[in-house]
Structure 1
Amino acid sequence: MSQINWPAVGLTILPNVGGIAGGILVRKNIDTWYASLKKPEWRPPNAAFGPVWTSLYTSMGYASYLVYRDGEGLNGPARLPLIVYGSNILLNWAWTPIFFGAKDPKLALAEIQLVNLTALGTGYLFYKINPVAGYLIIPYCLWLGLATALNYVIWRDNKDSSKAKITEIKDN
C-alpha cells in the first residue's frame, strides 16, 4: 500500500481554496450586478468559468508541488519561484472581490496586469526548476489573456452605467 503524498495533495488543492472562497463571497453579485452589464458576444458562458478555473488552479498547484519537490523546498532554488507564485495566487484571489465585490472593473483591470506579470514570471521561474511545471502554467497565462481582454471590454462598455450602479447601491 502506497502512502499519500501530502505535500502534492496540499499544494495541488491550495489554489482552489481561494478561488472557491472568492466565488462564494461574490455569488450574489454575479446574478445581479454582473448580469446587468454589457458583455461581448465572445465571452464564454458563465457555466464555463468554474470548471476552467478549477482545472487551471489544480494544474498550477501541481506545478508548484513539482517545483517545491525538485527545487529543494523553500530553502533551495525553489524559494524565489514559489514566492512569485504565492504572490500571483494572492493577486489572482484578490481580483474576484475587486471586480465582483467592489464592482470596480477599472481597478480590477489595473490589478489583473499584476496577475499577468506574476503569472509570466511564475511560468519562467518554474520552467528553470522543472520544465513540466513551467508548461503547466501556459494554459493559465492564455486564460488570463482572455480574462484581461474580457475585463477591459466590460470596463470600456460599461463605464457610465457601472458607476451609476455602484453609486445607486451605495446610496440605498
Structure 2
Amino acid sequence: MWLPMIGMTALPHLGGFYGGYITRKEVKTWYPTLQKPWWRPPNSAFPVVWACLYTGMGYSSYLVWKELGGFTEKAVVPLGLYGTQLVLNWAWTPIFFGAHKLKWAFFEIVVLTGTVAATMVSWYPISQKATLLMAPYLAWMFLATSLSYRIWRDNPETKEE
C-alpha cells in the first residue's frame, strides 16, 4: 500500500511544479507592477505554503481512497470533487500569471474555493482526519481568494481582459 500513498500524495505537486515554472518569470517582471494589499504574504512564503498544502491534500485523498476501498462506485463523488478542485487549482496559475487575466482568475478561484469546501463536506463522513488535513488548504484559499479579488479590483482592466 505504499505506492498508492506515495503516488496520491505526490500527485498535486505535478501541477505545482508546472505552476512554479509559469510563476518564476512573472513574479520578477509582471507581478511587481501590480498594486497589492499590504497584508499579502511575501513572495517567498508561497512555494513553502503550497508544498505543505499539496502534500496535505494529496495524503488526504489517499486516506479517503483507502477508506472507500479504492476507486469504487462510492468514491465517484468524493474523489470526483477532489479531482475537480485539483484541476481548478492547477488552472489558476496559468490564468493569473500566464495569461494575466485578473478577472477570470478571481472568478475561477471563487469556484475553486467552493469546490474545496464541497470536497471537504463530502469527505467528512468518510474520514474526519482527511477533512481536517484539508482545513489549512481551505483557510489559505480564503486568503488567496481575497488577495485575487483585491488585485483584480486595484488594477484596472486592459482591453485584452
Q: How far apart in 1 are the matches of 2:44 and 2:110?
A: 25
Q: How far apart in 2 are the matches of 1:25 and 1:45?
A: 18
Q: How far apart in 1 are the matches of 2:23 and 2:46?
A: 14
- Does structure 2 retain, via aligned residues, the 8 Å contact 1:73–1:79? no
Structure 1 letter corresponding to 2:122 = L
- Does structure 1 retain, via aligned residues, the 8 Å contact 2:22–2:97? no
Percentage of pairs with the same residue: 48
The verdict on how the C-alpha distance between 1:99 and 1:106 changes in structure 2, with shifts beyond 3 A counting, is same
Bigger Rg, structure 1 or 2: 1
- TM-score w.r.t. length of structure 2: 0.95
Q: How far apart in 2 are the matches of 1:107 and 1:139?
A: 24
2:142 is aligned with 1:142: no
> How many angstroms does 1:150 deviate by?
0.3
4+ aligned runs moved over 4 Å, structure 1: none
Map of 1:106-145 to 2, 5 A cutoff? 106-145=103-142
Q: Aligned-residue CA RMSD in angstroms?
A: 1.5
Q: How far apart in 1 are the matches of 2:10 and 2:91?
A: 18
What number of residue pairs does the alignment pair up? Answer: 161
Question: Residues 42-70 of structure 1: CA distance to partner in whole angstroms, max 9, x if unpaired?
Answer: 00000000000110010000000000000
Structure 1 letter corresponding to 2:65 = Y
The structure richer in helix per residue is 1
Structure 1 gaps of 5+ residues are: 168-172
- Equivalent residue, structure 2, for 1:170: none
> How many angstroms does 1:76 deviate by?
4.1
SS at match of 1:46: coil
SS at match of 1:31: coil
- TM-score w.r.t. length of structure 1: 0.89
> How many angstroms does 1:20 deviate by?
1.1
- Which of residues 54, 60, 64 in structure 2 aligns to 1:57? 54
Q: How far apart in 1 are the matches of 2:85 and 2:56?
A: 14
2:42 is aligned with 1:45: yes
2:17 is aligned with 1:32: no
